[in-house]
Amino acid sequence: MRTHNQRFGALGERIAARWLAKRGWRIVYHRFVNGRRDIDLVAERDGVVAFVEVKARKGAEFGDPVEAVHRRKQRELTKSAQVWIDRHGRQPETYRFDVIGVLVAGERVLVKHVENAFNIAS
Protein backbone atom coordinates (compact mmCIF):
# COMPACT_ATOMS: atom_id res chain seq x y z
CA MET A 1 0.00 0.00 0.00
CA ARG A 2 1.26 3.47 -0.84
CA THR A 3 1.93 5.93 1.92
CA HIS A 4 0.15 9.25 2.10
CA ASN A 5 3.32 11.03 0.88
CA GLN A 6 3.62 8.68 -2.10
CA ARG A 7 -0.02 9.26 -3.05
CA PHE A 8 0.42 13.02 -2.72
CA GLY A 9 3.60 12.86 -4.83
CA ALA A 10 1.75 10.88 -7.50
CA LEU A 11 -1.00 13.52 -7.46
CA GLY A 12 1.62 16.23 -7.99
CA GLU A 13 3.02 14.29 -10.96
CA ARG A 14 -0.44 13.96 -12.52
CA ILE A 15 -1.05 17.70 -12.07
CA ALA A 16 2.34 18.49 -13.64
CA ALA A 17 1.73 16.11 -16.56
CA ARG A 18 -1.63 17.72 -17.33
CA TRP A 19 -0.09 21.19 -17.01
CA LEU A 20 2.65 20.27 -19.51
CA ALA A 21 0.18 18.61 -21.91
CA LYS A 22 -1.95 21.78 -21.99
CA ARG A 23 1.17 23.64 -23.11
CA GLY A 24 1.93 21.32 -26.00
CA TRP A 25 4.28 18.84 -24.31
CA ARG A 26 3.86 15.13 -24.93
CA ILE A 27 4.59 12.90 -21.93
CA VAL A 28 6.78 10.12 -23.32
CA TYR A 29 7.56 8.46 -20.00
CA HIS A 30 6.03 8.63 -16.57
CA ARG A 31 8.24 7.49 -13.70
CA PHE A 32 11.31 6.21 -15.54
CA VAL A 33 13.07 3.97 -13.00
CA ASN A 34 16.78 3.20 -13.09
CA GLY A 35 17.76 1.18 -10.03
CA ARG A 36 16.80 3.19 -6.96
CA ARG A 37 16.71 6.44 -8.97
CA ASP A 38 13.84 7.70 -11.07
CA ILE A 39 12.76 10.55 -13.29
CA ASP A 40 9.22 11.70 -12.59
CA LEU A 41 8.33 12.75 -16.14
CA VAL A 42 10.04 12.72 -19.51
CA ALA A 43 8.32 15.17 -21.85
CA GLU A 44 8.95 16.11 -25.50
CA ARG A 45 8.04 19.14 -27.58
CA ASP A 46 9.58 20.38 -30.83
CA GLY A 47 12.66 18.15 -30.60
CA VAL A 48 13.37 19.08 -26.98
CA VAL A 49 13.26 16.36 -24.34
CA ALA A 50 12.80 17.60 -20.79
CA PHE A 51 13.61 15.41 -17.81
CA VAL A 52 11.19 16.77 -15.25
CA GLU A 53 11.48 16.52 -11.49
CA VAL A 54 8.18 17.25 -9.75
CA LYS A 55 8.02 18.50 -6.18
CA ALA A 56 4.62 18.79 -4.53
CA ARG A 57 3.88 20.51 -1.22
CA LYS A 58 0.84 21.28 0.89
CA GLY A 59 1.18 24.87 1.96
CA ALA A 60 4.26 27.06 1.86
CA GLU A 61 5.66 26.41 5.34
CA PHE A 62 8.47 24.28 3.94
CA GLY A 63 9.42 26.83 1.29
CA ASP A 64 9.21 26.80 -2.48
CA PRO A 65 8.97 23.19 -3.68
CA VAL A 66 11.37 23.96 -6.55
CA GLU A 67 14.14 24.70 -4.04
CA ALA A 68 14.01 21.08 -2.85
CA VAL A 69 15.98 19.84 -5.88
CA HIS A 70 19.42 19.94 -4.30
CA ARG A 71 22.81 19.04 -5.76
CA ARG A 72 22.65 15.32 -4.85
CA LYS A 73 19.24 14.98 -6.51
CA GLN A 74 20.59 16.77 -9.58
CA ARG A 75 23.42 14.21 -9.85
CA GLU A 76 20.94 11.34 -9.52
CA LEU A 77 18.71 12.83 -12.21
CA THR A 78 21.71 13.30 -14.49
CA LYS A 79 22.68 9.63 -14.16
CA SER A 80 19.14 8.43 -14.81
CA ALA A 81 18.79 10.79 -17.78
CA GLN A 82 21.95 9.38 -19.33
CA VAL A 83 20.50 5.86 -19.06
CA TRP A 84 17.26 7.07 -20.66
CA ILE A 85 19.18 8.76 -23.49
CA ASP A 86 21.25 5.62 -24.08
CA ARG A 87 18.08 3.52 -24.34
CA HIS A 88 15.60 5.88 -26.02
CA GLY A 89 17.42 8.97 -27.31
CA ARG A 90 17.40 9.99 -30.97
CA GLN A 91 19.34 12.52 -32.98
CA PRO A 92 18.95 15.51 -33.17
CA GLU A 93 17.07 15.81 -29.85
CA THR A 94 18.07 18.44 -27.32
CA TYR A 95 17.94 17.54 -23.64
CA ARG A 96 17.36 19.63 -20.55
CA PHE A 97 16.34 19.37 -16.91
CA ASP A 98 13.17 21.08 -15.72
CA VAL A 99 11.64 21.28 -12.27
CA ILE A 100 7.94 21.70 -11.63
CA GLY A 101 6.75 22.75 -8.21
CA VAL A 102 3.14 22.01 -7.32
CA LEU A 103 1.83 23.88 -4.30
CA VAL A 104 -1.57 22.83 -2.98
CA ALA A 105 -3.00 25.45 -0.64
CA GLY A 106 -6.56 24.56 0.33
CA GLU A 107 -8.59 24.54 -2.87
CA ARG A 108 -5.89 26.35 -4.86
CA VAL A 109 -3.21 24.62 -6.88
CA LEU A 110 -0.22 26.66 -8.00
CA VAL A 111 2.22 25.32 -10.59
CA LYS A 112 5.70 26.75 -11.10
CA HIS A 113 7.69 25.45 -14.09
CA VAL A 114 11.40 26.18 -14.12
CA GLU A 115 12.84 25.39 -17.54
CA ASN A 116 16.55 24.54 -17.74
CA ALA A 117 16.57 24.42 -13.94
CA PHE A 118 20.12 23.10 -13.79
CA ASN A 119 22.92 21.85 -16.01
CA ILE A 120 24.25 18.33 -16.12
CA ALA A 121 25.75 17.65 -12.70
CA SER A 122 29.18 16.14 -12.47
What pLDDT is attached to residue 122? Answer: 47
Quickly list H helices, the chain: 4-22, 71-88
Q: Is 99 helix (H, G, I), strand (E, B) or coil?
A: strand
Q: Which fold has domain 4-118?
A: Trna Endonuclease; Chain: A, domain 1 (3.40.1350)
**73 alpha carbon, distance to own chain's centre:** 11
Of residues 43 and 36, the one with the higher pLDDT is: 43
**Domain map (residue ranges) of the chain:** 4-118
Sign of the CA dihedral 11, 66, 69, 113? positive
State pLDDT tens for residues 92-112.
Answer: 889 999 999 999 888 899 999
